[in-house]
Amino acid sequence: MQYSEAEYPFFSSKSSRLLSFENWPLVMRQKPEDLAEAGFFYTGHADRTKCFHCVGGLKDREIDDDPWQQHVQWFSQCAYVKFKLEQSFVLD
């Protein structure tokens, strides 16, 4: 997928997104690896994350929130979400 249309191209790779979680609150149940895989990087404030591609933001998470489900639910038009869903469908 071309990430040239990404709002935050610096965070196009999972590894760069993962680095943003250095100060992620330890009390949060969501794992940085899962959030980064779902396209999110940490903004550095509370539990706020943003998608590198669509800039969709999540905050005030519940204990059982799943990063992918939340991304699809709130930002279903995100090109990264669509790409990953298509990729998953092809692999299944």
Local mean pLDDT, 10-residue blocks, the chain (92 residues): 77 97 94 97 97 96 93 95 78 48
Question: For strand 49-51 and strand 40-42, is the pairing parallel, antiparallel, or unpaired?
Answer: antiparallel
- What is the pLDDT, as a whole number, of residue 4? 57
Q: What are the structural domains, with CATH classification, of the chain?
A: 9-91 (1.10.1170.10)
Contact between residue 75 and residue 81 where contact means Cβ atoms under 8 Å apart? yes
Please give the Cα distance from 41 to 57 (Å, whole number).
10
- What is the pLDDT, as a whole number, of residue 38? 97
Residue found by looking up tokens 């509370």 in the block: 46
- What is the pLDDT, as a whole number, of residue 19? 98
- What is the pLDDT, as a whole number, of residue 2? 55
Q: Give me the half-sphere count of Cα atoms (radius 13 Å) on the Cβ side of residue 74.
A: 16
- What is the pLDDT, as a whole number, of residue 37? 96
- What is the pLDDT, as a whole number, of residue 89? 57
- What is the pLDDT, as a whole number, of residue 86? 82
Question: By three-state DSSP, how is residue 42 classified?
Answer: strand
Residue 7, token pair as written in the block: 């709002």
- What is the pLDDT, as a whole number, of residue 92? 46
